[in-house]
A and B are shown apart, each in its own frame.
Chain A
Amino acid sequence: MSENNQTPRRKGPPMGGGRFAPGEKPKNFKGTIRKLTGYIGIYKIPIIIVMVLAAVATVFSVAGPKIMAKATNALFDGLMRKIAGTGGIDFGYIGKILLFTLGLYIFSSVVSFLQGWIMAGISQKISFRMRKDISEKIGRMPMKYFESRTYGEVLSRITNDVDTLGMTLNQSITQIITSVATLIGILVMMLSISPLMTLISLVILPVSGALLSLVIKKSQKHFRTQQEYLGHINGQVEESYGGHTVIQAFNKEEETVDDFCRTNDILYKSAWKSQFLSGIMMPVMTFVGNMGYAGVAISGGMLAIKGVIGIGDIQAFIQYVKQFTQPIQQIAQVINQVQSMAAAAERVFEFLDEEEEEQEPSDPVQLDNVKGNVSFSHVSFGYVPDKIVIGDFSAEVSAGQKIAIVGPTGAGKTTMVKLLMRFYDVNSGTISLDSTDIRRIPRRKLRENFGMVLQDTWLFNGTIMENIRYGRLDATDEEVIAAAKAAHAHHFIKSLPNGYNMVLNEDASNVSQGQKQLLTIARAILADSKVMILDEATSSVDTRTESLIQDAMDRLMSGRTSFIIAHRLSTIRNADLILVMRDGDIVEQGAHDELLARNGFYAQLYNSQFESA
């Protein structure tokens, strides 16, 4: 059995031949496996059924050659009788045995198919549930988690790790069972045929084992170098590709190529060594295998002459010997797989166990008809407790007012936004909406009351209509169109192929940056939130679109309390309150004229624009 089941779908390392490459190791193997067992616990009964089926299929297919040996024996005996003239070949008997063996094989195949079918179902359901759990978890995670990690990292958990897990689960559980069952089964069968021959064939095991481990030990080092330098090469290519014009402009082409060649050379040397070593593995193993084969044939022949065993037994024995080393190799491989599975599972569980934002306050307040009064009273906050960036900030904002947040890059302008939306909580003091502490409003409810238009527009793969409607899901088509008109988006939408039904592609690259912004404004208008948070910078937009966006934003802000991360002086001047940020702290606050009169940081910032160069 299992002549070739290591071939299907294994993602080897990119350079192939990585069968003996070192696998990834989890930090806490036992703990992770325990957690994983708990996670898949609800499938306990089907998994036990799968295990039983796998064992049954193996036993039957192992028994095959031994039973078929009877047919060969009968054939040989019949031939002898024929030569001696005492009778002939008993075809009836041989036929019966062959049919019986065929039945056995068919049964074994059906059982093993069934087992594969059920296991695929289980492992896919587990992967499905895991992806779902991760996705739901993402919604409950605090902002700071994502700020310290790249999107790729989080994404790789949903895709790669869950994939590895599902695939390994699918294969390894059954493979462990079948390998062990095959090993024991074959040993029993071999012993039942001839203990002497079994001994002879077992002698080759330690020999091949020693050879194998020698080669693996030698090649492991080179495999590691190969992996490492493959990473370096990728990094170098990415970097020089990304900085291509700079390299050209600074005449650095030759040096870059030289650098690359040095890395490439190391990769070449380690790759050929590792490939060569794993390449000689097969011939060595075959040679050892054939030695055993010859030993079995000679001893078997001698035993047959003595009449201890039949010809068919030798044939069966040879088949068993050929299969014997396979389960051993497989077990080694499965152990490797299980280890990388555990590493993947560990990362997934680590993510699932991350600290969450608490979802519901203990005494939630239902806010209806929000007016949009926001007040800050003695707010102090720091990303790390001992480094306060906003200390004792108080301000009253009444409904409909405009608050501009200004300051140099990196001054922490988004901090205020994050506090308002409760991505972070204040350390002391309170922020309240319509005189209710925002910490007493359920996060979901709170965020519903804020509309956001940010520089990084977020649109999804769907029609324009759906994208705008995302602001308020129960809006009618008319309402969506009205919102688009108010946002100056109607005109350009009409000029697109299919108009409102045009499907935006995955990264919305089939509309321009400015158009995207108009769409998100339309969405915010539709949502009709009482408090708006806007980010004004429109540096990548042409002037005409910019004035459209400006106008749309002005409309959006009228009648709503709005917090604007402002860059344009006209917006800033019209603001009811200006918060001036510097190095994460609010250094000044007040209206435009007031701040100018104070002649402080704001005045400096404002005037700097007109200094001559």
Chain B
Amino acid sequence: MEEERFDKANRDLMGTQLFTNRTMAFMFPGMMLVMYGVTLTIVWVSAHRIDEGTLQVGAMTAFITYSMQIVISFLMLTVMSVMLPRAGVAADRIEEVLTTETVIVDPESPEKAGTHRGEIHFSGVSFRYPGADTDALENIEFTASPGKTTAIIGSTGCGKSTLINLIPRFYDVTEGCITIDGMDIRKMAKSELRDMIGMVPQKGVLFSGTIGSNLRFGRPEASDEEVRKAAEIAQAMEFISSNEEGFDRSISQGGSNVSGGQKQRLAIARAIVKDPKIYIFDDSFSALDMKTDAQLRKALGAYVKNAAVIIVAQRISTIMNADQIIVLDEGRIAGIGTHKELLESCGTYQQIASSQLSESELEKSTGGGSNE
């Protein structure tokens, strides 16, 4: 069956190419014929004119040369008439990019934040994507305090990633406001705001260079000691040191020469090196196995004592020890609380939990595991 489908596509392709090639095969002799036909006609007509004495033989030769030049110019024109519209389309597209306005702009006179503790507060935040009919987020209200872990969980498309993208101002809120240490983030300079945040995206995006240059991405002046420490916390030391080149091992474009799990760990280490006040993990543990995931969170928890940590996750085991869990459902907060509280009060959370854990595991998690 697969072969049949390929055969059909292959045959179709041959048909089309054959047609275009044969049209081309016709074009060229056709053009030649026109040119020579013109020459012959000129000679015939000029012969009569010469006979009448109204034309000189030399003028005829010149005339033939001119007519050839005209024919060739026409050929050039046809080629150009094919190329010009293409150039036009290309120019339009470039123009479209160049005239797109930046929506997120720095305030004219950014205010300086006094102390950076890193307390994030969402008050009545709603957000709607440009051109969308409904709000992607509706009336979100919570506080993420320094030294505490805030987890966000919910099904695909419920607005988790949207929510955290609002914090570094990749988008601006439609309603309400987000404050850090009491100051509206729209009043800060973007660079200052983003300096405070260590973000680990869903896909561990790396850049060409070395492991070292990637880890120092956020803070080029970081010492070797700091970089090593960060790699240890991110559980990346094992595979980094398994290669003789260690931190000098080169990373190819887009990080295609390291595995998905390794990329995520490097991306996490990169954020740690930056030493920010606020950590944001956007489903950053998904490519890690449960064991590495657990070790990493343990090490991280011990290290980032004073920072606010926000974790988005799909796996309940990743987040059930968080200080505060926010359950999102279709852009609204369906519940806020600890694992234990939510299991009792929040239907959506129960559903997620029971689909991932068995009853005995649930019991174990609420009984022995938690540490409030």
Once A125-B14, A409-B288, A610-B365 are accepted as A-B contacts, the answer to whether A98 and B253 lie under 8 Å apart by CB is no
Bound together, the chains give a CA A410 to CA B50 distance in angstroms of 91
A3 interfacial contact with B, CB 8 Å: yes
CA distance A124 to B36 in the complex (A): 31
Point out the residues of chain B lying under 8 angstroms from A5, CB to CB: 28
Q: Find out whether the CB atom of A569 lies under 8 angstroms from the CB atom of B358.
A: yes
Q: How far is the CB of A539 from chain B (nearest CB, A)?
A: 5
Q: Which listed residue, B28, B170, B289, touches A112 by the CB 8 Å rule?
A: B28
Q: Please tell me if the beta carbons of B10 and A4 are within 8 angstroms of each other in the complex.
A: no
Query: Which of A69-77, A374-382, A555-563 forms part of the interface with chain B?
Result: A69-77
Q: Is the CB of A605 within 8 A of B290?
A: yes
The 8 Å CB contact of A569, one of B1, B25, B361, B368, is B361
Inter-chain contact A105/B47, CB cutoff 8 Å: no
Is the CB–CB distance between B371 and A612 below 8 Å?
yes
A460 on interface, CB distance cutoff 8 Å: yes
Say yes or no: B18 contacts A120, CB within 8 Å: yes
Q: Considering only CB atoms, which chain B residue lies closest to A512 in the complex? A: B156
In the complex, what distance in Å separates the CA atom of A539 from the CA atom of B254? 23
Contact flag A7-B369 (CB < 8 Å), given A249-B197, A613-B294? no
> Please, how many angstroms separate the alpha-carbon atoms of A245 and B369 in the complex?
36
Known A-B contacts A82-B51, A470-B1, A609-B317; A410 and B157 likewise in contact (beta carbons under 8 Å): no
- Per-residue contact bits, chain B 29-55, to A (CB 8 Å; 1 contact, 0 not): 111110111011001101110110000
Q: B14 and A124: CB pair below 8 A?
A: yes
Contact with A along B1-42 (1 / 0, CB 8 A): 101011100110110011011101111111111011101100
Q: Counting CB contacts under 8 A, is A170 at the interface?
A: yes
In the complex, what residues of B have CB within 8 A of residue A91's CB? 47-48, 51
A239 and B208 in contact (CB under 8 A), knowing A250-B274, A541-B156, A543-B351? yes
Contact assessment for A608 and B294 in the assembled complex, using a CB-CB cutoff below 8 Å: yes
A89 touches B47 (CB 8 A): yes
Contact A106 B208 (CB under 8 A): no
| Interface flag for A186 (CB, 8 Å) | no
Contact B29 A608 (CB under 8 A): no
**Across-interface contacts of A245 in B (CB, < 8 A):** 165, 170, 199, 201, 205
Given contacts A7-B79, A409-B261, contact A613 B289 (CB under 8 A): no
Residues on B with C-beta less than 8 A from A123 are 21
Report B-chain residues with C-beta under 8 Å of the C-beta of A117. 22, 25-26
In the complex, the chain A residue whose C-beta lies closest to that of B61 is A315
Q: How far is the CA of A70 from the CA of B16 in the complex (A)?
A: 45
Closest residue on chain B to residue A407 by CB atoms: B289
**B67 at the binding interface (Cβ < 8 Å):** no
Q: For the complex, give the distance between the alpha carbons of A61 and B368 in Å.
A: 96
Report if B305 contacts A (CB, 8 A).
no
User: A120 to B294, Cβ gap below 8 A?
Assistant: no
Instruction: Say whether B142 faces chain A, with CB atoms less than 8 Å apart.
Output: no
> Interface stretch among A127-135, A342-350, A433-441?
A127-135
Q: Does B291 contact A (CB under 8 A)?
A: yes
Cβ contact of A8, chosen from B28, B50, B57, cutoff 8 A: B28
Chain A positions 67-110 with a Cβ under 8 Å from a chain B Cβ: 68, 71-72, 75-76, 78-79, 82, 88-89, 91, 94-95, 98, 101-102, 105-106, 108-110
Q: Are A109 and B355 in contact (CB under 8 A)?
A: no
Q: B residues within 8 A CB of A276?
A: none
CB contact under 8 A between A113 and B26, given known A105-B37, A127-B14: yes
Contact of A68 among B40, B286, B294, B301 (CB under 8 A): B40
B51 A613 Cβ-Cβ under 8 A: no
B292 contacts chain A at the CB level, 8 A cutoff: yes
**Interface check A149, CB cutoff 8 A:** no
A217 lies within 8 A of chain B by Cβ: no
Choice from B3, B57, B195, B314 contacting A72 with Cβ under 8 Å: B57
B214 to A: closest C-beta gap in Å: 10
Known contacts A311-B57, A542-B155; decide if A613 and B21 are in contact (CB<8 Å): no
Question: Which residues of the other chain, A, contact B105 by a CB distance below 8 angstroms?
Answer: none
Is there an interface contact between A79 and B44, defined as CB atoms closer than 8 Å? no
- Report how far A569 CA is from B43 CA in the complex, Å: 94
Given A246-B205, A570-B358; A542-B156 close (CB under 8 Å): yes
Q: Is A192 an interface residue (CB 8 A)?
A: no
Q: Are the C-beta atoms of B201 and A109 separated by less than 8 Å? A: no
Known: A252-B217, A569-B357. A235 touches B253 (CB 8 A): yes
Expressed in whole angstroms, the Cα–Cα distance for A112 and B286 within the complex equals 64
Across-interface contacts of B301 in A (CB, < 8 A): 613
B174 within 8 A of A: no
Asked if A106 contacts B33 (CB within 8 A), the reply is yes
Residues 224 to 269 of chain B near chain A (Cβ within 8 Å)? 253-254, 259-261, 267
User: For A604, what are the chain B residues with a Cβ–Cβ distance below 8 Å?
Assistant: 291
* Interface core residue of A91, A124, A311 (most chain B CB under 10 Å): A124
Q: Judge whether A238 is part of the interface by a CB distance below 8 angstroms.
A: yes
- Complex Cα gap A249–B351 (Å): 34
Known: A110-B29, A124-B17, A128-B10. A613 touches B170 (CB 8 A): no
Inside 8 A of A35's CB, which chain B residues have their CB? none
Chain A interfacial residues counted at CB < 8 A = 94
Q: In whole angstroms, how far apart are the Cα atoms of A112 and B261 in the complex?
A: 62
Q: How large is the interface on B (under 10, 10 to 19, 20 to 34, 35 or more residues)?
A: 35 or more
Residues in A with CB closer than 8 Å to B356 are 543, 568
567-613 of chain A: CB within 8 A of chain B: 568-570, 573, 604-605, 608-613
Distance of A340 Cα from B231 Cα, bound (Å): 47
> How far is A9 from B20 in the complex, measured between Cα atoms in Å?
10
Please report the C-alpha to C-alpha distance between residue A610 and residue B294 in the assembled complex, in whole angstroms: 8
Min Cβ gap B93→A in Å is 15
Which chain A residues lie closer than 8 Å to B368 at the CB level? 610
Q: Which residues of A contact B205 (CB under 8 A)?
A: 242-243, 245-246
Q: Are B253 and A120 in contact (CB under 8 A)?
A: no
8 A Cβ contacts from B157-205 to A: 157, 165, 168, 170, 190-191, 194-195, 197, 199, 201, 205
Instruction: With a 10 A CB-CB cut-off, give which of B31, B321, B355 has the most chain A CB atoms.
Output: B355
A201-247 interface with B by 8 A CB criterion: 235, 238-239, 242-243, 245-246
Are B3 and A136 neighbours in the complex by a CB distance under 8 Å?
yes
- A251 CB–B CB distance under 8 Å: yes
Q: Does B148 contact A (CB under 8 A)?
A: no
Which B residues are in CB contact (< 8 Å) with A414? none
Quick one: which of B21, B191, B195 has the most chain A CB within 10 A? Answer: B21
A546 CA / B57 CA spacing, docked (Å): 90
Asked if A298 is at the interface (CB within 8 A of a chain B CB), the reply is no
Q: A409-B288, A470-B1 are in contact. Are A611 and B298 (CB under 8 A)?
A: yes
Closest to A9 in B: B24
Ranked 3 nearest A-B pairs via Cβ: A116-B25, A542-B155, A120-B21
16 A–B contacts from the bound complex (CB under 8 Å): A78-B51, A79-B57, A109-B33, A112-B28, A112-B32, A113-B25, A113-B26, A116-B28, A117-B22, A132-B6, A132-B10, A235-B253, A409-B261, A544-B155, A608-B291, A613-B321
A residues near B (Cβ < 8 Å) are 1, 3-5, 7-9, 57, 61, 64, 68, 71-72, 75-76, 78-79, 82, 88-89, 91, 94-95, 98, 101-102, 105-106, 108-110, 112-113, 115-117, 119-121, 123-125, 127-128, 131-132, 135-136, 139, 166, 170, 235, 238-239, 242-243, 245-246, 248-252, 311, 315, 318, 407-410, 460, 470, 473, 539-544, 546-547, 550, 568-570, 573, 604-605, 608-613
Please report B residues at the A interface, Cβ cutoff 8 Å.
1, 3, 5-7, 10-11, 13-14, 17-18, 20-22, 24-33, 35-37, 39-40, 43-44, 46-48, 50-51, 57, 60-61, 64, 72, 75, 79, 149, 155-157, 165, 168, 170, 190-191, 194-195, 197, 199, 201, 205-208, 217-218, 253-254, 259-261, 267, 274, 286-292, 294-295, 297-298, 300-301, 314-315, 317, 321, 351-352, 355-358, 361, 364-365, 368-371
Starting from the known contacts A318-B61, A604-B291, A605-B289, 20 additional A-B residue pairs (CB-CB under 8 Å) come to A3-B31, A79-B57, A82-B51, A89-B50, A91-B51, A95-B44, A102-B37, A109-B33, A112-B29, A112-B32, A121-B18, A128-B11, A132-B6, A135-B3, A139-B3, A235-B208, A239-B208, A243-B254, A539-B286, A608-B295
